[in-house]
Amino acid sequence: MLQHILADPQALLIFALIGFSAQLVDGALGMAFGQISSTILISIGVPPAAASAGVHTAETFTTAVSAISHVAHRNVDWSLFTRLAIPGVIGGVLGAYVLTAVDASAAKPFVLAYLTSLGLYLFYRGIMHRHTERTPKVVSPLGFIGGFLDAAGGGGWGGIVTSNLLVQGSNPRKTIGTVNTAEFFLTVTISATFIATLGLRAFTVATTGLLLGGVLAAPFGAWVAKRVNPDLLLTFVGALLTTVSLYGLYRALM
């Protein structure tokens, strides 16, 4: 592994920049590290399974640093965290199992169409300043579904969980921090499967670059989430979710 990295330091730098950019967005808006990284890796010729393995392995480390940063900035609602993390891990384990036995790609266009509509709705609420904070009621089932789809579909925890909590009226900063923190435990569960089956082969040049860049960016995302106006955060989340979901839907239907 080390020989491959030292043999191509330019590639390592490119993947580190990808990881830095993706994690900066993810840490600030609560989603898209997996989608951005996987899309770029697949578009340059990395096989989907290898891309998913690499991204989830890198996320084990980036989400750890992101979680610590969000906790330090007091962006975490611990009651919400508990209700998300436990069912999320259970859903992730089940999703990883289903992925080995059933092709889950047929449901992907429907999930992406749903996320696109949520993104447009959140964008509208953000620019119209119509976000009224309320305590979310549907949390544990949402964590389970988010964990299941993240494992079975190769990503999407943040997009599914963050967007649905915001639609229910959850505080944007606390939602983003809590979802990012819970994601660490979900990612460890999913990536453990890849490490068990691939061993050190999971640590390619791409994985290592994503890991290094993502770890460097993680503290900045939490800092941005704490300081940006809630309506502006909501607008950015809506715009990002709409863009990423539409692109994913286009790729799924082509």
Condensed to tens digits (0 to 9), the pLDDT of residues 188-244 reads 887 776 666 555 555 577 778 888 888 888 888 888 888 878 778 778 878 887 887
How far apart (Å, rounded) are the C-alpha atoms in residues 144 and 95? 10
Give yes or no for a contact between 21 and 217, defined as CB atoms under 8 angstroms apart. yes
Give yes or no for a contact between 122 and 237, defined as CB atoms under 8 angstroms apart. yes
- Identify which of 30-44, 99-113, 141-155 has the greatest average pLDDT: 141-155
Note the pLDDT tens digit of each residue in 177-191: 999 999 898 888 877
Close Cβ partners of 81 (under 8 Å, ≥ 6 residues apart): 178, 181, 182
- pTM beyond cutoff 0.85: no
Q: According to the 3-state scheme, what is the secondary structure of 102-162?
A: CCCHHHHHHHHHHHHHHHHHHHHHHHCCCCCCCCCCCCHHHHHHHHHHHHHHCCCHHHHHH
Confidence of residue 80 (pLDDT cuts 50, 70, 90): very high
Close Cβ partners of 29 (under 8 Å, ≥ 6 residues apart): 158, 162, 176, 225, 233, 236, 237, 240
Among 56, 50, 58, CA closest to 19: 58
Mean per-residue pLDDT of the chain: 79
* Residue 6 scores a pLDDT above 60: no
* Residue 141 scores a pLDDT above 80: yes
Size of the chain in residues:
254
Confidence of residue 2 (pLDDT cuts 50, 70, 90): very low
Least confident of 16-20, 158-162, 195-199: 195-199
Confidence of residue 102 (pLDDT cuts 50, 70, 90): low
pLDDT of residue 88: 92
pLDDT of residue 198: 55
Q: How far is CA 3 from CA 6, 8, 208, in A?
A: 5, 9, 13
* Residue 40 scores a pLDDT above 60: yes
How far apart (Å, rounded) are the C-alpha atoms in residues 64 and 67? 5
